[in-house]
Structure formats: C-alpha cells, structure tokens
C-alpha cells in the first residue's frame, strides 16, 4: 500500500519530490526508471531535482510508469462537485481527437490500462536483462580462459 496521498502540485520541485518518493517506494533505482522510460539517468536526476524544462511526454510516461495519475482542475470554476454530464471545452477536444466524448474515453481507459503489461512485469523484465548483462563475459575473456585451459 502506498504511503502517498493526493497532492496539489504547484512547482517543478514538488513534482520531482513526488516522482522521487514514488520511485523509492517501488524500490527502483534512477537507472531502472530511466530504462523503463527510454531515457537517460541524467533525465531522472534532473526531473527529481525540479527541472522545470523537462519534456512533457517523458514526464507523463514517468507518472504512468510509477502508477501516478495527473489531473487538471480549472482554478476559475467554483469548488463544487460536478458530474460527467457537465459540458466543458475539453469534451469538444476529446470528441475531435478520439471521435468520442470525454465520458466515453474515460470509461474505456481502465480497459486499455488493464490490457497493458503491469509495471511490475516490466520492472522484472528490466532487472532480468540487467542480471543477464552482468553475467556475460567478453570474447577476450573467453579466449584468455581457453588459452589457460590449453596450458
């Protein structure tokens, strides 16, 4: 169970702190997270330290890899609980992009996520590949061993 609670983020430093906390909670190194994202370790270091110029696509992938969800709220709207039936300009965007309403898109999202391999399976795969590369020996080492056996 996660020790994290819902948080309103206002700065890149806060986002970096949340990513670092969740990464450590999942027992991932910076290098392992970078491999999951297809990025370099330096990128993970920068985002965790609050780099405000991080690529948004990688930030979203990092949030997904760490099973974090980002949501946006309209600060101009009164703080009342709305329903999915409330119309919004975003609904029009989803209709244009997806050919369906935001409500339909959000209903299908759990099914799409359930069809993907779990993050734990991906982490195990990355760790397995890491162990495999650590056990490989170079061709030079094979030749040295072979020559030693011939003596």
Number of domains in the chain: 2
> What pLDDT sits at residue 9?
79
pLDDT of residue 125: 81
Name the pLDDT band for 113 (thresholds 50, 70, 90): low
Q: Is 60 exceeded by the pLDDT of residue 136?
A: yes
Note whether residue 78 is domain-resident.
no
Q: Give me the pLDDT at residue 120, please.
A: 79
Q: Is the pLDDT reported for residue 64 higher than 90? A: no
Express each pLDDT in 7-51 by its tens digit.
Answer: 777 888 888 988 999 999 999 999 999 999 989 999 999 999 988
CA-nearest of 97, 78, 8, 56 to 89 is 97
Predicted local distance difference test score (pLDDT) of residue 140: 77
Q: Whole-angstrom Cα distance, residue 104 to residue 111?
A: 12
Residue 104: its pLDDT value, please? 66
Answer yes or no: are the C-beta atoms of 16 and 52 closer than 8 Å: no
pTM comes to 0.50
Give the model's pLDDT for residue 106: 64
Whether 65 is in a domain gets the answer: yes
16 and 58 fall within a common domain:
yes
Instruction: Count Cβ atoms within 10 A of the Cβ of residue 112 and give its class: 0-12 exposed, 13-18 middle, 19 or more buried.
Output: exposed
Domain assignment present for 53? yes
Indicate whether 95 belongs to any domain: yes
Judge whether 62 lies within some domain. yes
> For the chain, what is the mean pLDDT?
76
Q: Show the beta-strand stretches assigned E in the chain.
A: none
In three-state secondary structure terms, 127 is helix
Q: Is 45 part of any domain?
A: yes
pLDDT above 70: residue 84? no
Task: Specify the DSSP element, H or E, that contains 4.
Answer: none
Residues 52 and 98 in one domain: no
Distance CA 40, CA 64 (A): 17
Q: What is the pLDDT of residue 24?
A: 92
Domain that includes residue 92, residue range: 86-119
Q: What would the two tokens of residue 64 be?
A: 């997904």
């Amino acid at each position: 169970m996660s020790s994290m609670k819902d948080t309103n983020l206002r700065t890149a430093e806060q986002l970096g702190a949340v990513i670092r906390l969740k990464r450590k909670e999942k027992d991932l190194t910076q290098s392992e997270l970078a491999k999951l994202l297809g990025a370099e370790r330096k990128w993970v270091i920068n985002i965790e330290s609050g780099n405000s110029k991080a690529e948004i696509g990688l930030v979203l992938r990092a949030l997904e890899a760490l099973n974090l969800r980002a949501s946006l709220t309209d600060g101009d709207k009164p703080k009342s609980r709305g329903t999915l039936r409330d119309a919004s300009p975003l609904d029009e965007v989803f209709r244009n992009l997806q050919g369906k309403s935001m409500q339909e898109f959000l209903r299908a999202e759990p099914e799409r996520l359930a069809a993907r391999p779990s993050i734990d399976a991906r982490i195990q795969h990355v760790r397995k590949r890491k162990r495999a590369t650590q056990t490989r020996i170079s061709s030079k080492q094979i030749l040295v061993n072979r020559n030693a056996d011939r003596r």
